[in-house]
């Protein structure tokens, strides 16, 4: 059944229109990855949600205990799929004012998207190492991180499964979050690539506990323990959550977090 649209404050044919009730998601929650708090964080990937009932599905996920909503932005160029833009982020910010919006830019020219997503209400932007110009990739990555922080957001750097940790090891500490892809980006529902856990362990050993390490791709209750033990403290889950019925969301969220009660 479609969600009822809130009525705006004002008058209709001379009659007062009541103000809409406050959003149930306006309660204080984590809005930055660098905050202290219980870990790991669960970040449902909304790419796997029902786009016809996006707010409903995200509400189910947040009610189940997820702290983060993960937006996979694909441009049809860096990856073959085409997904969502700032308007989706803006709609989610309006509906979920207290939830951390984690925007993952799988795009060829990430700098074009920083300001539009910041204006749309994103809290965090992650861009990929791979499309950066090879001759000055490290300098470009650090420049982009400064640009993102100048907009008031936290900055993340993503690496694909074939990209070794050594490629980014000298600059990773300059970011708030390292995103290790456990599938080749472009489509949801892919199988988990277990070999990325080794570079995740090396990244955690190098970065210590002061930085977040996120993993995205094929994560489920079956492999979440391995992901956590490798050092990840932000787990992105798409099909493993949204592929199930809403009554299952709380149990799945607990299993991803490693809480069995």
CATH class of 28-257: alpha beta
* List 72, 102, 123, 176, catalytic entry: 72
Looking at residue 29, what is its pLDDT? 53
Q: Which residues contact 237 (CB under 8 A, 6 or more apart)?
A: 42, 43, 44, 45, 219, 220, 252, 256
Q: Where are the domains of the chain?
A: 28-257
Whole-number Cα distances in Å, 186 to 2, 73, 79, 164, 216: 30, 9, 5, 19, 12
pLDDT at 2: 40
Tens-digit pLDDT profile for residues 206-219:
999 889 999 999 99
Residue 239 and residue 70: Cα distance in Å, rounded? 13
| Alpha-carbon torsion angle 258, 206, 195, 34, nearest 10 | 40
Token pair for residue 14?
């001379």
Predicted local distance difference test score (pLDDT) of residue 32 = 82
Q: Is 36 a catalytic residue?
A: no
Per annotation, catalytic residue among 57, 75, 176, 216: 216
Segments in the chain below pLDDT 50: 1-14, 17, 20, 23, 25-28
Instruction: Judge whether 216 counts as a catalytic residue.
Output: yes
């Amino acid at each position: 059944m479609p969600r009822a649209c809130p009525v705006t404050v004002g008058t209709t044919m001379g009659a007062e229109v009541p103000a809409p009730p406050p959003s149930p998601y306006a309660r204080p929650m984590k809005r930055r990855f660098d905050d202290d708090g219980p870990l790991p964080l669960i970040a449902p990937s909304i790419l796997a949600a029902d786009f016809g009932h996006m707010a409903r599905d995200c509400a189910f996920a947040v009610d189940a205990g997820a702290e983060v909503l993960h937006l996979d932005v694909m441009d049809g160029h860096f990856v073959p799929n085409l997904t969502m833009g700032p308007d989706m982020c803006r709609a989610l910010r309006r509906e979920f004012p207290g939830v951390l919006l984690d925007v993952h830019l799988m795009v060829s020219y990430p700098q074009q998207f920083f300001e539009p997503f910041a204006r749309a209400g994103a809290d965090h932007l992650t861009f990929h190492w791979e499309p950066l110009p090879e001759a000055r990739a490290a300098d470009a990555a650090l420049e982009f991180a400064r640009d993102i922080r100048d907009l008031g957001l936290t900055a993340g750097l993503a690496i694909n499964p074939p990209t070794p940790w050594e490629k980014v090891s000298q600059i990773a500490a300059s970011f708030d979050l390292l995103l290790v892809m456990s599938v080749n980006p472009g489509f949801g529902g892919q199988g988990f690539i277990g070999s990325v856990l080794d570079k995740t362990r090396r990244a955690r050993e190098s970065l210590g506990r002061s930085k977040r390490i996120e993993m995205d791709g094929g994560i489920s209750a079956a492999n979440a323990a391995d992901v956590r033990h490798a050092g990840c403290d932000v787990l992105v889950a798409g099909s493993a959550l949204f592929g199930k019925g809403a009554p299952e969301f709380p149990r799945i969220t607990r299993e991803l977090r490693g809480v069995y009660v």
